A and B are shown apart, each in its own frame.
Chain A
């Protein structure tokens, strides 16, 4: 492999860089990103400022769709965003609270030879279809499902309890999925922390809790931040889980977007709502990147 070593103006040695044809290897990724991400996004942004009536574009630049987001139907679309943020916040916090102890035990309590096997077992549910996993939860939580049958069989409850088709079921489905993701990101961060740091703290008289709170936890925050950010992004934009498990008794933002497309084909409004959702994700990214130093990961 032909590598070029360059010397900087200050006389330091630069890292080797690919030369000539090797740099062309970057172009496929650039072209792909430009063609299938930047360009469609730009088109969608432009469409979001148009206004359609009877399937025809009647205004080529207007903020009407963005105003409608706030004003339409006494704020039902705004409420969809609030619902999405609430669900996403609960899912992210719950997933972190569950995933961190799992990742900690995996990294520090489980013998190294078992760690890989347990990690594989952890991600096994990833191998099943997302849709099938959601429907499986619906069957588990349903009135005729395994939990209700068990509880009624044991005499704990007289009548089946409706556990599916609500926000709780949506959150459960999300948490089940994102705990796996967060466990992986936190685990990969924990195993990078030098053992000597934790030993030094212990030698200086720190209790195991103090080591966790003052050494391990701060150093593992980048892993938590990356996992939390991915959870936030994937959760807030997900259509399938709330559609299957939520029973459509309240709208989340992706469902509100889909409703603009379905019968009326109002792509202008759907684009505007998508751009608003993307704005929220960007804010979340900036918060994660600046406050939690994701770049250190």
Chain B
């Protein structure tokens, strides 16, 4: 019989089973135990990284004498996983990709917002999309920040005139100098736009054409990655352009790298939008709604637009942005940009799976 360092079997089978059962029972008991209640002066927010700056949260916390507990996440899937592991009432505020508001609301997780109480009058009219933040006539999310998928570039190496058309994404002159932002929906829509597929009309029939063009881009690509990866590529010289990049990828880097810039194509762009929502089970509904209104007000909008994590457009047209920031964000060009831009589309599950397959193939090619 095998013996341990002490010269005897460490556990008999019966002891092992007994110990395991006791352990599992203990773990189960701990899991089932009610947790200590939340303090009354806390607001728990599940948000993107641009909501973590003290300069954004502190004024609200001081005014309402609350502690704001922040948890940031990257993708909606991760947020849903966090929510699955949470108790009802754990969270008050959610910031989420606007295309996912309905997805979260359909699970009964979000509280209805009274559209009449929201500052819609200050928000760019193009962002007032009932197909994104509403289900029927009920509002569940309030757009707070948005941006564009166009192209980022290094002015020292590329002339902006070379980037006006969508065909720049697969122009052989940029071979080995192309970084591609690794988010399949907007990037595939951009590529689709370049071959005549209007954003929002992608389907199983025209997907193969997008696939072909993606594989063409892959041959030119030096890097494919998330925001920090493509930013690094531009800074370190591994790439001169970022396909599907926008203000979110370069504007906060221009202080150290003034040659970095961004633009959208003449044909238009795909724009993204994030929304702030209130959880249905939040025990602080009134305070959470106040937080939504606060985030949409002019000064917090300016702070949110220039968050240390990433910059982008404030949804509020009256955000108090300094002139030099407006220039970097191409603020004066917003009406024209918005007029020729399309929001993300939300593919159904079947098309989404096919698009993911194509994207995975693109990465693996």
- Does A46 sit at the interface, judged by CB under 8 A? no
Cα(A249)–Cα(B27), bound, Å = 42
One of B46-54, B117-125, B248-256, B353-361 contacting the partner: B353-361
Q: A76-B364, A79-B364 are in contact. Are A261 and B81 (CB under 8 A)?
A: yes
Contact B363 A250 (CB under 8 A): yes
Q: How far is the CA of A72 from the CA of B353 in the complex (A)?
A: 10
Interface string of B224-267 (1 = CB under 8 A from A): 11000100110111100000000000000000000000000000
**Interface of B, helix, strand, loop or mixed by DSSP:** helix
Within 8 Å of chain B (Cβ to Cβ): is A138?
A: yes
Closest to B6 in A: A17
Taking the closest CB of chain A, its distance from the CB of B331, in whole angstroms, is 30
Q: Which residue of B has the minimal Cβ distance to A77?
A: B360
A76 neighbours in B (Cβ, 8 Å)? 357, 360-361, 364
Q: Does B352 reach chain A (CB closer than 8 Å)?
A: yes
Report the number of A-B residue pairs with Cβ-Cβ less than 8 Å. Answer: 125
The residue in chain B whose Cβ has the minimal distance to the Cβ of A250 is: B364
A51 interfacial contact with B, CB 8 Å: no
Check A142–B237 contact: CB distance below 8 A: yes
Query: Is B62 in contact with chain A by the CB < 8 A criterion?
Result: no
The docked-state distance in angstroms from the alpha carbon of A247 to that of B74 is 19
Interface size class of B (residues with CB under 8 A): 35 or more
Chain B nearest CB, measured from A130 CB (Å): 15
> Is there an interface contact between A248 and B223, defined as CB atoms closer than 8 Å?
yes
Q: Are B76 and A263 in contact (CB under 8 A)?
A: yes
Are B224's CB and A247's CB within 8 A? yes
Q: Considering the chains assembled together, what is the distance between the CA atoms of A74 and B360 in angstroms? A: 10
B20 touches A34 (CB 8 A): yes
B7 A31 Cβ-Cβ under 8 A = no
Instruction: Give B22-50 interface residues, CB cut-off 8 Å to A.
Output: 23-24, 26-27
A30 lies within 8 A of B19 (CB) = yes
- A259 to B80 Cα, complex, angstroms: 15
A-facing residues in B277-307 (Cβ within 8 Å): none
A residues within 8 A CB of B78?
261-262, 265
Q: Which of A16, A73, A138, A262 touches B232 (beta carbons < 8 Å)? A: A138
Q: Looking at chain A, what size class is its interface with the partner chain?
A: 35 or more
Q: Does A14 contact B (CB under 8 A)?
A: yes
In the bound complex, residues from chain B placing their C-beta under 8 Å from that of A38 are 20
Distance to closest chain A CB from B89 (angstroms): 21
Stretch at the interface among A158-166, A179-187, A193-201: A158-166
Contact of A249 with B24 at beta-carbon distance under 8 Å, contacts A6-B8, A165-B233 already known: no
Q: Is A139 part of the contact surface with B, judged by Cβ < 8 Å? A: yes
Closest-by-CB residue of B relative to A259 is B360
In the complex, which of the residues A30, A139, A145, A160 has the most CB atoms of chain B within 10 Å of its own CB atom?
A: A30
Contact across chains for A247 and B222 when beta carbons are under 8 A apart: yes
- Specify which chain B residues have a CB less than 8 angstroms from the CB of A164 in the assembled complex: 236, 238
Supposing A26-B10, A72-B357, A248-B225 touch, asked if A142 and B236 sit within 8 A by C-beta, the answer is yes
> Which partner residue on chain B sits nearest A8 by CB separation?
B7
Name the one of A17, A27, A54, A247 contacting B8, with C-beta atoms under 8 angstroms: A17
Contact check, B23 vs A265: say whether CB atoms are below 8 A apart: no
Q: Is the CB of B176 within 8 A of A162?
A: yes
* Contact status of A143 and B236, CB under 8 A, knowing A247-B225, A263-B75: yes
Partner of A15, one of B6, B20, B235, B363: B6
Q: Please state if A80 and B77 are interface contacts (CB–CB under 8 Å).
A: no
B221: interface (CB < 8 Å):
yes
Q: Is A144 an interface residue (CB 8 A)?
A: yes
Please measure, in the bound complex, the distance between the C-alpha atom of A160 and the C-alpha atom of B24, giving whole angstroms: 58
Given the interface pairs A16-B6, A34-B24, A34-B27, the reply to whether A249 lies near B363 with Cβ below 8 Å is: yes
A251-B360 contact, Cβ under 8 Å, with A17-B8, A165-B223, A263-B77: yes
Report the Cα distance A259→B24, complex, angstroms.
31
Between-chain CB contacts (< 8 Å), 22 pairs? A6-B8, A18-B6, A27-B19, A34-B24, A72-B357, A74-B361, A76-B360, A76-B361, A142-B236, A143-B237, A144-B237, A160-B237, A244-B229, A247-B225, A249-B218, A249-B223, A262-B74, A262-B77, A263-B76, A265-B77, A266-B77, A267-B81
A142-B232, A249-B218 known, 20 other contacts, Cβ within 8 Å: A6-B7, A16-B6, A17-B6, A34-B27, A35-B23, A35-B26, A54-B349, A73-B357, A138-B236, A142-B236, A144-B236, A162-B176, A165-B233, A165-B238, A247-B222, A247-B238, A248-B229, A248-B363, A249-B363, A263-B76
